[in-house]
Amino acid sequence: MLKRVLAIITILIIGYWLAEGLANVPFGQDKMLVGQYYLNHVKEQTGAVNAVTAVVVNYRGFDTLGEVTVLFIASTGVAALLWRRKRERTAKTPGSVVLTTGSKLLFPFIVLFGMYIFIHGHLTPGGGFPGGATIATAFLLMYLAFIVYEIPHKGFETTEGLAGMSYVLVGLIGLAIGGYFLFDWIWQTWHWGTSNLGRLFSGGFIPVIYTIIGIKVGTELSGIIDNMLKEEVKE
């Protein structure tokens, strides 16, 4: 009881403190410094109509590379924590015919929609991370509907590694051509798609990188799901 009261008092003090600090930031006023620069120059500098993905992949590409690394470490960490020599699915109840047939029918559509999200990252909200997560949900659906379903591990782990390497490779090509890592060579050196703003084949290397990230995130999260759903088998 005393613990709870103390915790509530502490949280109230912290909340008051934060509210006090935020009270001086007026809502709805133009306070953009760097933001205005992004909004004014995003089209001719990156070719993307979606300013968020331009910032995430182009202006601040390093952060995205970091995020991809974090995800990779997370999936490796889960695999390392749950590693056992012999692990199997232990679910016992098979789904009804309605569930299994429905999942089979939905699976291609979810994957296609995930691909739609990551290829249109420079035009519509979304990008590689939501697209990849959508693809992973398709595999989660298969895992939940079938008691014996397993992703093709070898293919998945190889694809994941290759996608991560391609991201770095795209950055390194930029380093060779433009002088710094993750330089957008497709847009700024080749001027590929410059006449095409707002259509699919534009946006410099954003669609390329988002395709890579989408594949990587999709395979990675599926791998995490696979690891979490398996249990150790007693011999």
Partner 1 sequence: MAEASRISKFLYTFIVTFIIWLFLTASLDPQELTIGAIFSAIVSALTYDIFTTRGLSNLHPRRIAYAIIYVPYFLWAMIKANLDVAYRVLHPKRPINPGIVECRTVLKNEVGKLALANSITLTPGTITLDVDGDKYFIHWIDVKDSSVEGASENITRPFEKFLKVIFE
Q: Which residues bind partner 1 (CB under 8 A)?
A: 96-98, 100-102, 104-105, 107-109, 111-113, 115-116, 119, 196, 199-201
Least separation in angstroms between residue 108's CB and partner 1 is 4
Q: Are 185 and 105 in contact (CB under 8 A)?
A: no
Find, among 106, 109, 119, 104, the residue nearest to 50 by Cα: 119
Nearer to partner 1, 119 or 217 (CB): 119
Nearer to partner 1, 10 or 124 (CB): 124
Least separation in angstroms between residue 105's CB and partner 1 is 7
The label of the residue with tokens 């047939």 reads: 101
Least separation in angstroms between residue 120's CB and partner 1 is 8
How far is the C-alpha of 64 from the C-alpha of 62, rounded, in Å?
Answer: 5
E strands present in the chain: 87-89, 230-232
Nearer to partner 1, 36 or 194 (CB): 194
Chain centroid, CA 72 distance in Å: 11
Nearer to partner 1, 84 or 199 (CB): 199
Least separation in angstroms between residue 115's CB and partner 1 is 5
Q: What helix, strand, coil percent values describe the chain, rounded to 5? A: 70, 5, 30
Show the tokens assigned to 85: 């020599």
Least separation in angstroms between residue 149's CB and partner 1 is 10
Find, among 176, 206, 179, the residue nearest to 192 by Cα: 206
How far is the C-alpha of 158 from the C-alpha of 149, rounded, in Å?
Answer: 19
Nearer to partner 1, 102 or 178 (CB): 102
